[in-house]
Amino acid sequence: MLSSRKTVITNPMNDRYKWSCPEFPGTVKNKTMQYTVKLGITSLSSAILLQKGRNVGEMLLGNVDYPTLQPQLPALETLCDTLEAANNEVLFNSGKLTQEAKRLAEVALRKALKDLSGFVQGISGGDKALILSAGFDVAKQRTPLPAPEAPADLIVRRTAVQGILKVKWSRVYGSKLSFLEMVEEGGEEWKRVLTTTRSSHTMTNLNTGKEYSFRVQVVTSSGISPMSEVVTNIAA
């Protein structure tokens, strides 16, 4: 049975609760960014999202490392109160209006936490202890890839079709792109003929009976590899 109480749908992020963007006068300087704030609120239930908002507010309140965020905390508390009230309303009156009010409250709180996480990232300079002291978690650091080695097993194979050579090489772990270079018989300048995410390519429109040499290198997140060995073959 629907409650007789009237639910007014409002956007909690109205003019009273607009977030200003501090200029980070308390930003930690001369520190290498080591850690990244882990937000992880997209799939949280309404109750856990509320708990997250409350915790961040409590951890930031009076935190001497985040003086510029103190003026933002009353708005965060208001957003948490709004979501808590919306959750309670849904328990007693789960109609379309109350569900929409709850959804808007969740959106507003998620937006506020996302904004705060960005401020915390900038002010902390990536310092793990400072991030944790603000009530946020840190993302797991990835182990950096070693410097890439030159691609191995480069093969240039002739086919029965004239003017075609098939080029293939072994994929390097972590490779994002491969650069294939070629030089014609009698030439001195290597030319990049292909940039690809694959590890094979068919060269066409080559001159029958002419010799072609190939080499390849790859790009990973840790850099560019040396060139592979040079392999040569004659187009059919």
Q: What is the CATH number of the domain that holds 218?
A: 2.60.40.10
What are the tens digits of pLDDT across the range 166-202? 999 999 988 889 999 999 999 989 999 999 999 999 9
Structure tokens of 177?
């792109």
Give the residue from 183, 187, 196, 198 showing the smallest Cα distance to 230.
183
Q: Are residues 124 and 61 both part of a single domain?
A: yes
Structurally, the chain folds into a number of domains equal to: 2
pTM above 0.85, yes or no: no
Q: Are residues 25 and 131 both part of a single domain?
A: yes
Range of 180's domain?
155-234
Domain-located, residue 6? no
Domain-located, residue 91? yes
Q: What are phi and psi of 180, to 5 degrees?
A: -105, 125
What DSSP string runs through 138-204?
EPPPPPPPPPPPPP---EEEE-SSTT-EEEE-PPPTT--EEEEEEEETT----EEEEEESSSEEEE-
Domain-located, residue 1? no
Domain-located, residue 4? no
Give the residue from 17, 52, 45 showing the smallest Cα distance to 102.
45
**How many Å apart are CA 55 and CA 52, to the nearest integer?**
5
Q: Are residues 125 and 159 both part of a single domain?
A: no
What pLDDT was estimated at residue 90?
93
Query: Cβ(113)–Cβ(149) under 8 Å?
Result: no
Query: Cβ(223)–Cβ(182) under 8 Å?
Result: no
Q: Are residues 92 and 207 both part of a single domain?
A: no
**How many Å apart are CA 69 and CA 60, to the nearest integer?**
8
What are the tens digits of pLDDT across the range 107-161? 999 999 999 999 999 999 889 999 999 999 999 877 777 889 999 999 999 999 9
Domain-located, residue 75? yes
Query: Cβ(141)–Cβ(130) under 8 Å?
Result: no
**How many Å apart are CA 25 and CA 199, to the nearest integer?**
49
The proportion of the chain whose per-residue pLDDT surpasses 70, expressed as a percent, equals 86
Q: Are residues 23 and 103 both part of a single domain?
A: yes
